[in-house]
Chains A and B, each alone.
Chain A
Amino acid sequence: MRVRLRVNGSWVEVDVEPHETLLNVLRDRLRIRSVKYGCGIGECGSCTVLLNGRPVTSCLVLAAGLDGTSIETADYLAKTELGTRIVNALLLEGAIQCGYCIPGFLVTIYAALKSGMIRRGDSTEIARAISGNICRCTGYINIVKAVRRVVAELVAIGAD
């Protein structure tokens, strides 16, 4: 089955099998390795990507249904202005240990800040946004601090 996808800003055509998920296609056909396989059943968030601007667990999405959609992945978002801020904040707060979960967190945090899901930067808001991302190393505290740091920076530069 041929599907046209706008992946990280450029349109591509890919042949996919009905049983392939978006995770399979991004990693194996398009070689985008920032998208990580963790649980494969929607629970860990390491495979999170943006689908038409909304974060989704790509391990559950059938690729054959995605004709005409737009996908953005962590490696691409990391190079945007907001993405760079998030990466820097994660580094400064010591929020990365093994790093496996981080691409998923980056995508979710990016989307949450972009969409206003995280606005004030209080812990309820942040916990709600990132509850679909599991980290086995850090204990989350420094990840939450990193998000707060970005919120503070955005306030300081007067971004909404």
Chain B
Amino acid sequence: MLSVNRINTYRIPFTFEYYRPRTLREALEILRSVEGAKVVAGGTDLVVDMKFRRVEPKALVDVSKLEELRYVRLVEDYVEIGSAVTLQELVESEVVRARLPLLWEAVNSMASWQVRNIATIGGNICNASPAADTAPPLLAYGAKLLLTSLDGVREVGIGEFFVGPKRSIIRPDEVLQAIRVPVHPAGYGWSFRKVSRTSFDIAKISVAVLLKVDGGRIRDPRIALGAVAPTPVRARSTERAIESLSLEEALEVGPRFVEGDIAPIDDVRSTAWYRREVAKVLLRDSLRTAYERSLNPGWVHEG
């Protein structure tokens, strides 16, 4: 903490080139031709990292105003979200609230109003923090990312995107253009829970659950966790273990298995032990909430 306090965060302590392309194509051309260029959207991760000199890009390409990246659209059985849509715009989106309630619940718990007004969903994903709060819901929904460069578009499952803390498979000449999220499956309950220092802060542990109930038995549970491994993770062995169990059985069995699905570390926000114990508690809470909501299919979040 002391070293943090000695850094002057009033300014970014170095300079760089700044590009504000008018089209996505122009952005892609700059990324291809300018050595060391990096995408910036809201800057709520990147500007902080630059103030601390954790990264020193030679050039920034601002994609935050590109209309081509600023839309939320319901297309048949999925919702497509442009990467430069802000978190607050997602909170205010009827389509997201009604069709992707698990993602809505996560975004609604993120940062502060002032930060949500600038931060984008694309930035949250591309920053590739293990604690990125949009990641667990997107993993549970099985979202696809559209990565675009001058060579064309590649579609990547979000499960293959993250490779380590702050590391993903995106290339420096690529832009995350949009996120395709299958609409919330009918009849499924959902729950996003996180523990952080204050209610809107970055998560120490987060859990997203999606499940269906059939004759009192849990079916097709999908569980994803944040901040408890080098990347956001699906808890596959836990999912398998609670398939077809009653709620009471799942509350007993799930927490035992989840330890094997995660690999938490000690850091400034928490210890590994704390993360492991709280992950079990959050899992229990989330299973119960998702179970109850699945019995109440008409229930949606209040706008």
Contacts and interface: CB of A to CB of B under 8 A. Distances in A.
A45 B114 contact: yes
A62 B112 CA distance: 19
Contacts of B47: 21, 60-62
Contacts of A64: 18, 20, 62
A160 B48 CA distance: 38
Given A54-B88, A65-B62, A131-B198, A59 B20 contact: no
Interface size, B (range): 20 to 34
Given A19-B12, A61-B43, A65-B64, A132 B200 contact: yes
B60 A62 contact: yes
B41 to A, nearest CB: 10
B15 A42 contact: no
Contact of B118 (A18, A41, A57, A131): A57
A104 B274 CA distance: 35
B9 A59 contact: yes
A51 B20 contact: no
A55 interface: yes
Contact of A131 (B51, B64, B199): B199
A41 B20 contact: no
Point out which of A48, A51, A55, A108 has the most chain B C-beta atoms below 10 A from its C-beta. Answer: A55
A54 B15 CA distance: 28
A64 B64 CA distance: 12
B50 to A, nearest CB: 8
A24 B113 CA distance: 21
A160 B62 CA distance: 38
Contacts of B88: 54
Contacts of B11: 19-21, 24
A65 B63 CA distance: 10
A62 B9 contact: no
Interface string B63-107: 011000000000000000000000010000000000000000000
Interface in A37-81: 37, 39-42, 45, 48, 51, 54-57, 59-62, 64-65, 67
A63 to B, nearest CB: 10
Interface in A16-44: 17-21, 23-24, 37, 39-42
B151 interface: no
B48 A42 contact: yes
B113 A55 contact: yes
Contact of A18 (B9, B17, B111, B198): B17
Given A42-B44, A62-B40, A62-B43, A19 B14 contact: yes
A37 B200 CA distance: 21
Contacts of B117: 51, 54-56
Given A60-B44, A65-B20, A65-B64, A17 B114 contact: no
10 nearest A-B pairs in the assembled complex, by CB-CB distance: A132-B112, A40-B9, A18-B18, A19-B12, A132-B114, A54-B117, A57-B114, A64-B18, A19-B15, A41-B48
5 contacts: A18-B60, A19-B15, A40-B9, A61-B118, A131-B198
Given A18-B15, A19-B14, 20 more contacts: A19-B16, A20-B11, A21-B47, A23-B10, A39-B9, A40-B51, A42-B44, A42-B115, A59-B10, A60-B48, A60-B115, A61-B118, A62-B62, A65-B62, A108-B113, A128-B113, A129-B113, A132-B112, A132-B115, A133-B112
